Amino acid sequence: MSNKFESLPLEKALLENLSSLDYKEMTPIQAKSLPLILSGKDVIAQGKTGSGKTATFALGILHNLEVKRFRIQSLVLCPTRELADQVAKEIRRIARSIHNIKVLTLCGGSPLGPQIGSLEHGAHIIVGTPGRIEDHLNRGRLNLENVNTLILDEADRMLEMGFQSALDLIFSMCPKKRQTLLFSATFPDEIKPIAKAIMIDPSTVKVESTHDTNTIDQHFYQVLEHSERLTAIRLILLKNQPESSVIFCTTKIETQQVADELAMFGFSCIAIHGDLDQKDRDQALVRFANKSVSILVATDVAARGLDIENLDAVINYQISRDPEVHVHRIGRTGRAGSKGTAYSIIVEKEIHRIIKLEDMMKQSIKMEKLPDRNILEKKPNKPEMTTLQIDGGKKQKVRAGDILGALTAKKGTDDIQGNQIGKIQLFDNRSFVAVHRSIANDALNKIQNGKLKGRSFKARCLWG
């Protein structure tokens, strides 16, 4: 089995683009599944987060796509809007060497009207969440008659979120003759009947369903009562001072509570869960990804599939009841060869979860002692960066270069250096730029006082 993209029957322009994206060779899941996918087979692919599943199905979609036929030919279903956005972005990147491919996202949290407008303009590829796609189908605004490729991304999570009936409707509206590809990080029993019902003689491809847990330093702490988990987490954070970490919680309410309480103790943290509106979720992810907030507190669903990299630590406020989920969570630390660290807090009645985990990891787990409580007197570290939110974005034709230019424009003594400016992210009507804390006020002044596209934009600093 070759791991060169060139071994695949792909168009030259696509291959050249892959190499321009620095995709030098196929990841294991790509090498195993792409030959099957490109030969037209239905495929069930199981692989951990970060294994490159998106590019896998993006290439499948593009292989089946007739650009000249301006009809919806592929439908990608994702559990959350963030994932759908991320997937659409990756498809556009992979497709950028082919002209005029239209990828449209249809997700909840955005008004229906503009989506209907976009649908009327047509698209080749739809990426969306089942609920919103169902909505459009019910209103007769979405025609799936020409779909030749149907993708279920994070299928396990979609079922868990109760999308079953929406999915049933969607499947019934797609042509029977099509290619169906199903991607999932875990493969619970609930998926099997669906796979059977909607796929034809699928091949299953599995790439080490579990992360190599040996590259992760795992620490386990037992506390006497549920109420002591927060103190345990504070001790761990103060002792180890991870620059970027994710804390996993079980419910939305718990997620918000943990984030609020940690913030009260001075930690730089933010929550992300399904009860937040889309603006707040986007903002939270931006601030975490640009390192102006150090701790993201999240539910499994909210964190699922998000391409959050370089985590120094993963912390389990509660250990998952499913060992596969545990391994999946902690797999987000220690990417790219560096050793990651995971901390898990348990109470006595969760010991059986530890036993299951030991069985799966084939190693024994020892409880450790928490750091000494003296450390609670310490002040948490603040991140070096902070985020400016600017009330202008793509629709106001703001570009990253404009923001960079405005910030680095010379103005007497308070020059801002390029290296004090971090990630810049543009949304429709807003943009975010990470800047060094020490220059945040100067930066804010420059944006507010007409240095950006010669206009004054409203802006504010989101201190983490």
Contact residues toward ligand ADP (CB under 6 A) are: 23, 26-27, 30, 47, 49-55, 90, 305, 307
Instruction: Choose the one of Mg ion, ligand ADP, none that binds residue 55, judging by a C-beta under 5 to 8 angstroms depending on kind.
Output: ligand ADP
- Using the rule CB under 5 A, give the single segment among 49-57, 125-133, 209-217, 219-227 that binds Mg ion: 49-57
**Nearest approach, Cβ of 54 to Mg ion (angstroms)?**
5
Q: What is the CA radius of gyration of the chain?
A: 23
Name residues whose C-beta falls within 8 Å of residue 442's C-beta, 6 or more positions apart in sequence. 414, 416
**Nearest approach, Cβ of 186 to ligand ADP (angstroms)?**
13
- Toward ligand ADP, which CB reaches closer, 53 or 136? 53
Q: How far apart are CA 260 and CA 271, in angstroms?
A: 8
- Toward Mg ion, which CB reaches closer, 128 or 305? 305
- Toward ligand ADP, which CB reaches closer, 33 or 115? 33
- Toward ligand ADP, which CB reaches closer, 15 or 230? 15
Instruction: Choose the one of Mg ion, ligand ADP, none that binds residue 307, judging by a C-beta under 5 to 8 angstroms depending on kind.
Output: ligand ADP
393 near Mg ion (CB under 5 A): no
Instruction: Choose the one of Mg ion, ligand ADP, none that binds residue 51, judging by a C-beta under 5 to 8 angstroms depending on kind.
Output: ligand ADP
Q: How far apart are CA 78 and CA 447, in angstroms?
A: 37
- Toward ligand ADP, which CB reaches closer, 207 or 388? 207
334 near Mg ion (CB under 5 A): no
Q: Supply 440's token pair.
A: 């945040």
**Nearest approach, Cβ of 323 to ligand ADP (angstroms)?**
19
53 near Mg ion (CB under 5 A): yes
81 near Mg ion (CB under 5 A): no
- Using the rule CB under 5 A, give the single segment among 122-130, 236-244, 245-253, 303-311 that binds Mg ion: 303-311
**Nearest approach, Cβ of 445 to ligand ADP (angstroms)?**
35
**Nearest approach, Cβ of 73 to Mg ion (angstroms)?**
21
- Toward ligand ADP, which CB reaches closer, 27 or 74? 27
Instruction: Choose the one of Mg ion, ligand ADP, none that binds residue 345, judging by a C-beta under 5 to 8 angstroms depending on kind.
Output: none
- Using the rule CB under 5 A, give the single segment among 48-56, 222-230, 241-249, 337-345 that binds Mg ion: 48-56
Name residues whose C-beta falls within 8 Å of residue 355's C-beta, 6 or more positions apart in sequence. none
- Toward ligand ADP, which CB reaches closer, 93 or 141? 93
Strand 103-106's sheet: what is its strand order?
103-106, 125-128, 74-77, 149-152, 179-184, 43-46, 203-206
128 near Mg ion (CB under 5 A): no
- Toward Mg ion, which CB reaches closer, 78 or 232? 78
Strand 340-346's sheet: what is its strand order?
269-272, 295-299, 245-249, 313-316, 340-346, 216-222, 367-368
**Nearest approach, Cβ of 106 to ligand ADP (angstroms)?**
20
**Nearest approach, Cβ of 1 to Mg ion (angstroms)?**
22
- Toward Mg ion, which CB reaches closer, 23 or 265? 23
451 near Mg ion (CB under 5 A): no
- Toward Mg ion, which CB reaches closer, 126 or 439? 126
Q: Supply 208's token pair.
A: 């080490």
**Nearest approach, Cβ of 314 to ligand ADP (angstroms)?**
15
Residues that bind Mg ion (CB under 5 A): 53, 305
